[in-house]
Structure 1
Amino acid sequence: MSTAPDPRRCPLCGQPNDCAMQRQRDTGEPQPPCWCTTVRFERVVLERIPTEARRLACVCRACATAATPAPPSA
């Protein structure tokens, strides 16, 4: 028997994902745009999300940016 993923926790590491959209659903209070709207999610990160959590729980900033390549240095 599996349980539904917690939409407030990252499905990769289990830490809080700080999702503004979920916070707005929980509280009914308008939130500023979520941090995730300014981050590019690499395919490798998205592929690691367990099937049962896809589209149900957001990845946290740390997991989202861990796989992002650093910009080339000049």
Structure 2
Amino acid sequence: MASDASPNSASHCPLCGADNRCAMELERATGQPQAPCWCTDESFPPDLLATLPESAQGASCICINCLRAHAQRGTP
């Protein structure tokens, strides 16, 4: 995964640059109500969050593919 892939876009994963499918961001951008975001049912490990560029912390969502890849790698 590339670091700092898309630091200024809340709709893109800051790790890989892909669309993060954030329903909350889509609702903010379009004004159209959305179902709860997929991320509300997920757990994001602190070691994964620590890999985010500082500019993306609290501003951009990690995509489900990066979350799954991290889970598959496991943590020591």
With the shorter chain as reference, the TM-score category is 0.7 to 0.9
Which residue number corresponds to residue 54 of structure 1? 57
TM-score (norm 1): 0.82
Q: How does 1:1-74 map to 2 (within 5 A)?
A: 5-68=8-71
Alpha-carbon RMSD across the aligned residues, in angstroms, is: 1.9
Separation in 2, partners of 1:27, 1:53: 22
SS in 2 for 1:68: helix
Q: Which has the higher contact order (CA 8 A, sep 6+)?
A: 1
Q: Where does the alignment leave 5 or more consecutive residues of structure 2 unmatched?
A: 1-5
Instruction: Name which one, 1 or 2, has greater alpha-carbon Rg.
Output: 1
TM-score (norm 2): 0.80
Which residue number corresponds to residue 72 of structure 1? none
Q: Where does the alignment leave 5 or more consecutive residues of structure 1 unmatched?
A: 70-74
* One-letter amino acid of the counterpart of residue 32, structure 2: E
Deviations 1:10-61 (A, max 9, x none): 0000000000000000000000000001111111210111001111111100
